[in-house]
Structure 1
């Protein structure tokens, strides 16, 4: 099979022939139809998320099950499925026993501890796969398994009340989905972006207001929840001033910048929440909004042979808004 292989730390991605894997016990073999290329792939290539090389990356996989291993009963050949980041865990530690395997120190992550999805075929643990809604295309589904899942999980974990206002900081690969999810869930939604060229688009996606920064957010009455979807904690720090009392900021982008919090956070009971992906229930809901036509993925599509160009556009922040490898 063909696969995009990262040969070494900071290595140049190479499309080459590698052996097609065979499913073991409790595994399925997916024929990949679409694989989202996420900025996390950049973090892994640069060594900011530790793994061993050579490595086939990709953690937004969707495809068709073409073979099943011993012991698989919940899935069958022909199923259309996707695979989330956390595929398996030890099953024995405190966090696994409490049903929070995303905290397991021995978790198995797609494209980190396993072969990823930038390939024609990929193995996955059967019970971790999620069936795709029949009316959702592979290209629409792929980015939901990281980007959409992450944003919706963060919003749900912030536990917004019906009367509260949601602000989305950054209108990039996560943020444009955040605007749609917030609006689909019935919340008054504010987009925070310096990009004037995105203002009409985010309003079309559902934003009720568009402001440039935290000061602008504060001037229109503030927000109860801010979803910080970008990779700049400098921007997140500046936006904190736009939170209302009892407000929550959810960090879901990775940054090496410090987050600066003032003493105002004490009097306002401000909460800072870290969030990635918080359970399969939220993944189901994230896909369901797409199936109902309330959330739409906007993506650039590339062939596997053109994956190096896709990677460069994601690296430089030029992809608008997601990059998807269609097999």
Structure 2
């Protein structure tokens, strides 16, 4: 993978501040780097807000950050759909080969040559970033940069998981793990019209998650079953044991959607799956149409990302707070 800035960069030109990760274990450093220039089909974005995702902690090289929201300040050759002044966010997966089986089937997520923000291109924890114009999404009027940024990964992931479960009218949705993903998943389930149950052992989260729309709060899978169970369980926790435990509360023909990624294996009872005819579904950013709906819910005030805002210069301290589990729901770097 290459983490060099894409496009022509003048080493004598203007500089910008950017967070640089030298390894997965080392603290982030704020450095001066050249402001990049957009190449063909690219735009240069002045980043106004950049959400901090737990996956940023795995960044071992280059500029982390894949939840950007900002303003286009320059466009490269060939760009027709975007212009200077547009308020945009950027997709995690920016481009694919366009030639393989999966691209031809309009499923570029599975392309082996897919290009990702902060993985193959520099990320958004910086004053400016490059993006392919086709990977930018216009922000709805009234949606602030700070609110929009976390939706480009956390909100997108949560809502795409809900849609992947194909919930039907009258069904119940449970959310396991009320953190950066989970607090948004609760809101999207409720805003979509479903009875929504939060599954958490954190008693200090009961009041805020009730305020965000949870109809009930239970401690574990057994308690979930005791209140009638759920047709859809959204697993947003990094604890795979918590996600496994929640399956006790799946109703017959229920769907367990795995979105939270942990290092431990997911333990599954084959008998439980067979007898209940239950399904386990893996999910990520499943379709661009879902991101449109994610942003629309937020713009209409149906969903609110609960955030802690920090200056870009505080990025290293935010990383430590994230490692310690001290961030309440979502952190955002503002420029």
Same fold (TM over 0.5): yes
Q: Name the SS for the 1:18 alignment partner.
A: strand
**CA displacement at 1:9 relative to structure 2:** 3.8
Equivalent of 1:103 in 102, 106, 110: 110
**CA displacement at 1:200 relative to structure 2:** 1.5
**CA displacement at 1:324 relative to structure 2:** 0.3
Paired position in structure 1 for 2:40: 25
Paired position in structure 2 for 1:49: none
**CA displacement at 1:87 relative to structure 2:** 0.3
Cα distance in 2 for partners of 1:243, 1:69 equals 50
Paired position in structure 2 for 1:259: 266
Equivalence map 1:81-92=2 (5 Å): 81-92=88-99
Equivalent of 2:283 in 275, 284, 296: 275
Cα distance in 2 for partners of 1:115, 1:103 equals 21
Paired position in structure 2 for 1:125: 132
Cα distance in 2 for partners of 1:157, 1:171 equals 19
Equivalence map 1:232-251=2 (5 Å): 232-251=239-258
Paired position in structure 2 for 1:300: 308
**CA displacement at 1:44 relative to structure 2:** 2.8
Q: Deviations over 1:92-121 (max 9, x none)?
A: 111111111111111000000000000000
Paired position in structure 1 for 2:10: none
1:3 lines up with 2:18 in the alignment: yes
Cα distance in 1 for partners of 2:171, 2:58 equals 34
Q: Name the SS for the 2:35 alignment partner.
A: coil
Paired position in structure 1 for 2:8: none
Cα distance in 2 for partners of 1:270, 1:41 equals 33
Cα distance in 2 for partners of 1:174, 1:43 equals 17
| Contact residue 233 and residue 257 of structure 2 kept, 8 A | yes
CA RMSD of aligned residues (A): 0.8
Stretches of structure 2 that go unaligned for 5 or more consecutive residues are 1-15
1:158 lines up with 2:173 in the alignment: no
Paired position in structure 2 for 1:34: 49
Q: Name the SS for the 1:21 alignment partner.
A: coil
Stretches of structure 1 that go unaligned for 5 or more consecutive residues are 46-52
| Contact residue 79 and residue 133 of structure 2 kept, 8 A | yes
Paired position in structure 2 for 1:48: none
Paired position in structure 2 for 1:321: 329
What number of residue pairs does the alignment pair up?
319
Q: Deviations over 1:20-78 (max 9, x none)?
A: 00000000000000000100101334xxxxxxx3x001000110000000000000000
Cα distance in 2 for partners of 1:241, 1:261 equals 10
Equivalent of 1:170 in 162, 177, 193: 177
1:75 lines up with 2:82 in the alignment: yes
TM normalised by structure 1 equals 0.96
**CA displacement at 1:128 relative to structure 2:** 1.1
Q: Deviations over 1:202-243 (max 9, x none)?
A: 111111110000000000110000000010111111111100
Q: Name the SS for the 1:226 alignment partner.
A: strand
TM normalised by structure 2 equals 0.94
